[in-house]
């Protein structure tokens, strides 16, 4: 009987969807949509999207143009793949396209849209954006925590020194660096370690489990979930993504409840003498503020904390790994970078954050890495709040908008020799990554651009500079540069398909690797 009911319901939903599609097709006839491939029934253009969607969409855009119309299931999608379209969506009409689609990831993995990434546009999101800028990630707070970033970078250099001369899985070291930094900055201490003498008590997750959780979060936030695109199939969860989201949410919630309970106990013990020591303390104080326009519930505190942990843990590590990969494939660039460091820093100390302004070639390397390997190649989808038009084409309300910054970074109309890794193109150039130059948008632009850009740039520059300054890098086992794979793996971020392995040989005085 249950199977019969399921079949009847599925059939009914199917016919309802067909009727809805016919109605919508009739409704959409009044619009002049951007050019694009003809959609198939039910699946739309999903058959044209391969395992690396930003690649597939770039190939389609080369045929149909920089403003292209697609259909993912029953969902209308418009893709911008040029500087002009990016400027239109992210600046000229930022408020029209400032909303987010309601996806399963936002619902199940981020406390029902209580975070900053997936929160719909409205009073809650506007208040959150202001709190992030003023309270959590302001320049004063970031400067006050510089010692945390310095100490953890020194710890990473010590760990690499201890395994010198062997093949190093660099991503694992970068991952632990970022986990330790963000744990101390956001949570107040290192939670993701096994040694109870470090944590001050038992932990709720191991480093391996936590790494898996972060990787799973970025994958599930970036997948094309059939249930989001074809709603009548959502209850079937044909890809199993919703099941995985629910499992992941339970694992993160267990960890975050442990963190919040410890912080609440600390506040209770200290009473009126309590002073906020980390970002979770700040969030809990804000949650108690009766003057907030929209109260921050416990789910909101956890959603914001989840964003801070995930965003700072993964993106910086991937950018540095891509940078080292490109440098190993382009040894002449690596030589220039190390010469700049030797000249500006010398061989008697490590690099500090204050040195970065005096390292223009290093900054150019970071920009060139972000041009070729933006960690979020399609940015996070936006949603049109009202009908609008661009270049003689209509974009109806309810349309998903994707910006292919990966394709813009490879556009020969914008960049000379776009497939070559040439940091020199940024030396003396005013083009920056801070959202005002639409040919280079690794952090996005407009009101929805990544609020963690300041912290992210500090971590990438400091860690990369010290890795290049403290070690001589080479590929393992006699591998030549041309043999290094640069294949990608897709999610909300895009890591290397095969994690980079390299050999690090120390080149500075031994006492600089003490870890202090």
**DSSP of 137-197:** S-HHHHHHTHHHHHHHHHHHHHHHHHTTTSEEEHHHHHHHHHHHHHIIIIISS--S-S-HH
How far apart CA 48 and CA 180 sit, in angstroms, is 41
Query: How far apart are the C-alpha atoms of 346 and 324, rounded to whole Å?
Result: 21
| Amino acid 8: pLDDT | 47
421, 368 Cβ separation under 8 angstroms: yes
202 vs 72, higher pLDDT: 72
C-alpha–C-alpha distance, residues 216 and 386, integer Å = 33
Is 118 within 8 Å of 100 (Cβ atoms)?
A: yes
Whether pLDDT at 192 is above 90: no
Round the average pLDDT of the chain to a whole number and report it: 92
**Pair 492, 109: CB distance under 8 Å:** no
Whether the per-residue pLDDT at 450 is higher than 80: the answer is: yes
Edge-to-edge strand ranges of the sheet holding 167-169: 167-169, 501-506, 471-474
Q: pTM (2 decimals)?
A: 0.92
Q: How far apart are CA 161 and CA 460, in angstroms?
A: 20
**pLDDT at residue 225, as a whole number:** 95
Burial class (CB in 10 A: 0-12, 13-18, 19+), 123: exposed
Give 3-state DSSP helix, strand, coil % of the chain, rounded to 5.
55, 10, 35
Q: How far is CA 235 from CA 168, 275, 312, in A?
A: 44, 47, 33
Is the pLDDT at 5 greater than 50, yes or no? Answer: no
pLDDT computed for residue 16 by the predictor: 57
Query: Which one has a higher pLDDT value, 51 or 25?
Result: 51
Q: Where are the domains of the chain?
A: 31-513
Q: How large is the average pLDDT for residues 13-42? A: 72
Taking only the tens place, the pLDDT of each residue in 65-91 is 999 999 999 999 999 999 999 999 999
Give CATH superfamily name and number for 31-513: Cytochrome P450 (1.10.630.10)
* Residue 162 clears pLDDT 50, i.e. is over it: yes
* Better-predicted residue by pLDDT, 111 or 6: 111
Q: pLDDT band for 21, please (50, 70, 90 cuts).
A: low
pLDDT at 199: 46
Percent of the chain residues topping a pLDDT of 70:
92
Q: Check pLDDT > 50 for residue 429.
A: yes
Question: 114 among the known binding-site residues?
Answer: no
Q: How far apart are CA 2 and CA 196, in angstroms?
A: 51
What gap in Å lies between CA 37 and CA 140, rounded to an integer? 50
- Length, in residues, of the chain: 516
Contact 241, 273 (CB under 8 A): no
pLDDT at 474: 96
pLDDT, one tens digit per residue, over 243-284 is: 999 999 999 999 999 999 999 999 999 988 899 999 999 999
* Digit-coded pLDDT (tens) for 501-512: 999 999 999 999
Mean pLDDT of the region 170-186? 94
């Amino acid at each position: 009987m249950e199977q019969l009911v399921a079949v009847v319901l599925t059939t009914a939903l199917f016919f309802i969807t067909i009727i809805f599609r016919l109605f919508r097709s009739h409704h959409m006839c009044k619009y002049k949509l951007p050019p694009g491939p003809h959609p198939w029934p039910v699946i739309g253009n999903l058959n044209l999207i391969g395992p690396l969607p930003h690649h597939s969409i770039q190939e389609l855009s080369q045929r149909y143009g920089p403003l292209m119309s697609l259909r993912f299931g029953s969902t209308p999608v418009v893709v911008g793949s040029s500087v002009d379209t990016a400027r239109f969506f992210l600046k000229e009409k930022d408020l029209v396209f400032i909303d987010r689609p309601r996806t399963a990831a936002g619902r199940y993995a981020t406390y029902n849209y209580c975070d900053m990434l997936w929160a719909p546009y409205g009073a809650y999101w506007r208040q959150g954006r202001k709190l992030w800028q003023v309270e959590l990630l302001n320049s004063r707070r970031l400067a006050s925590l510089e010692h945390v970033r310095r100490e953890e970078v020194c710890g990473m250099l010590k760990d690499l020194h201890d395994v010198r001369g062997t093949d190093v899985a660099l991503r694992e070291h970068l991952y632990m660096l970022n986990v330790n930094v963000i744990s101390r900055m956001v949570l107040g201490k290192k939670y993701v370690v096994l040694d109870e003498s470090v944590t001050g008590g038992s932990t709720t997750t191991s480093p391996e489990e936590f790494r898996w959780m972060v990787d799973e979060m970025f994958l599930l936030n970036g997948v094309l979930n059939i249930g989001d695109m074809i709603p009548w199939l959502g209850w079937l969860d044909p890809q199993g993504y919703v099941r995985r989201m629910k499992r992941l949410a339970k694992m993160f919630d267990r960890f975050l409840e442990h963190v919040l309970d410890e912080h609440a106990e600390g506040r209770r013990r200290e009473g009126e003498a309590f002073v906020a020591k980390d970002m979770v303390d700040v969030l809990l104080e804000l949650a108690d503020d009766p003057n907030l326009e929209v109260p921050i519930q416990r789910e909101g505190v956890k959603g914001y904390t989840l964003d801070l942990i995930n965003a700072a843990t993964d993106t910086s590590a991937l950018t540095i790994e891509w940078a080292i990969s490109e440098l190993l494939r382009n040894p002449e660039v690596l030589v220039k970078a190390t010469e700049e460091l030797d000249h500006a820093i010398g061989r008697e100390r490590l690099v500090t954050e204050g040195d970065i302004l005096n390292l223009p070639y290093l900054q150019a390397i970071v920009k060139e890495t972000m041009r070729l390997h933006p960690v979020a190649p399609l940015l996070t989808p936006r949603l049109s709040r009202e009908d609008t038009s661009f270049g003689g084409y209509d974009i109806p309300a309810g349309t998903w908008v994707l910006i292919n910054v990966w394709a813009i970074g490879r556009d020969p109309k914008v960049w000379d020799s776009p497939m070559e890794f040439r940091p020199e193109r940024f030396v003396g150039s005013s083009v920056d990554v801070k959202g005002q130059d639409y040919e280079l948008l690794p952090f996005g632009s407009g009101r929805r651009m990544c609020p963690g850009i300041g912290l992210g740039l500090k971590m990438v520059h400091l860690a990369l500079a010290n890795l290049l300054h403290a070690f001589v890098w080479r590929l393992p086992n006699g591998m030549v540069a041309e043999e290094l794979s640069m294949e990608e793996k897709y999610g909300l971020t895009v890591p290397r398909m095969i994690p980079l392995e390299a050999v690090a040989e120390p080149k500075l005085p031994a006492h600089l690797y003490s870890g202090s």
